[in-house]
Amino acid sequence: MQLRYSFRLYPSAGQRAALARAFGCARVVFNDALRARETAREQGLGFPKTGDLSKALITDAKKTPERAWLGEVSAVVLQQSLRDLDAAYRNLFDGLKGKRPRMGAPRFKSKRDNRQSIRFTANAAWRITPGKKLRLPKIGDISVRWSRTLPSAPSTVTVVRDAAGRYFASFVVETDASEVLAEATSQVGIDLGLGHFAVPSDGTKVDSPRFLRRAEKRLRKVQRELSRKQKGSANRDKARICVARAHARVADACREFHHQLSTRLIRENQAVAVEDLAVRGLARTRLAKSVHDAGWSAFVSTLEYKAARYGRTFVRIGRFEPTSQVCSVCGVKGGPKPLHIRTWTCGACGAVLDRDVNAAVNVAQAAGLAVTACGAQVRPGPVPAQRREAGTHPKQPTQPVWEQTGIPGL
């Protein structure tokens, strides 16, 4: 499988200017190609091919005085910009055919976009120098902070500048089966929530870090300072970078938490099962900020690709499974429960169940994993005497002992 590794870059002032020129040239070629195709569509002409666009917008344009500055950057960067436009149109048409989720039409790029990027392939003759620097054509040798070793020789490198003004080098590498971990004996189901971020079926609970909630005071302060700056001034640009850096710290902390937790779960368990949550629907409720703060989708995606990378089994069960309503001991469905009900007693077997751990066990059982309820933190309650035994036998209630109100649990 292909993986992407990102490393922080520290370009000099001259290299930052060269990167800015490369970003601008790639953006101009992309916008020119998009404009040419949109004009052809409006006039009822055929769809311009990439080869024709490359000859007209890159090769011939360099010979004109208006576009002579395109020769100041690597031609590979401009060619890859056209490839990005092709990929955007391919995603659009595949979405219309039902081959993938629908996506919007390609849009024009702006120099004010939060993210600027250029891509170098092997044809650009980029390389990593013996001094561990990244040598890019017509840019120079850029210092790199190597936080880890690449598993194989990279095929492409993408240079990215984010909204906070940071530069990153993103390498695409191929991995093989040598990274498959030794087989583990345990299997786990995971219930994702807001009070606790993740509750595995073994009974442990991972608290939700709430990175966004903890950073709200700082975010309000820098955003207030930005709103007081005059538009178009240099001080406003400085304040905007402060806001972007504050948000970047929150995003980096959340991403690091997801990686650490997903790596631990993958290393300790042979099979992992999660529930397919309706995150988009939950983001339209009063819990929207907490849902976005948790980042369930990013965590599940990280868990899924790491399972494929390390030879583990990943199962995603349907979102309509009544994991919070079914007793994991006897399998009797007790009905929906309000969110404030964290512990409930099964009316059939009398087991006292923790809501989150019971849901995690049900997730594992729905995925077909060999997980029992022994880790569900249940304790047997009073069991009614059998009818053949002496004593009175009160009539069993036909309705649950608690009122069925509220919304189903997460």
Burial of residue 409 (CB within 10 Å: 0-12, 13-18, 19+) is buried
The answer to whether residue 275 is catalytic is yes
Residues forming a β-bridge with 314 = 272
**Catalytic annotation, pick one of 191, 202, 293, 354:** 191
- For 210-230, give the DSSP string: -HHHHTHHHHHHHHHHHHTSP
Residues 302, 305, 308, 314, CA torsion sign: positive
**Which DSSP category does 178 fall into?**
G
Residues 89, 5, 214, 278, CA torsion sign: positive
Distance CA 373, CA 355 (A): 13
Question: Which H helix or E strand runs over 8?
Answer: strand 2-10
Residues forming a β-bridge with 333 = 326
Distance CA 195, CA 272 (A): 21
**Catalytic annotation, pick one of 32, 202, 275, 293:** 275
Query: CA 6 → CA 40, 79, 145, 179, 296, distances in Å?
Result: 38, 22, 10, 19, 22
The answer to whether residue 356 is catalytic is yes
Question: If you search the block for the tokens 């402060």, which residue do you land on?
Answer: 242
203: Cβ contacts below 8 Å, ≥ 6 apart? 357, 375, 376, 377
352: Cβ contacts below 8 Å, ≥ 6 apart? 343, 344, 345, 346, 378, 379, 380, 381
Nearest to 359 by CA among 201, 172, 137: 201
Residues 143, 145, 150, 155, CA torsion sign: negative
124 by DSSP, 3-state: which?
A: helix
**Catalytic annotation, pick one of 32, 202, 293, 356:** 356
CA 102 to chain centroid: 18
Per-residue burial over 10-47, b if 16 or more Cβ lie within 10 Å, else e, is ebeeebbebbebbbbbbbbbbbbbbeebeeeeeeeeee
Give catalytic residue positions: 191, 275, 356
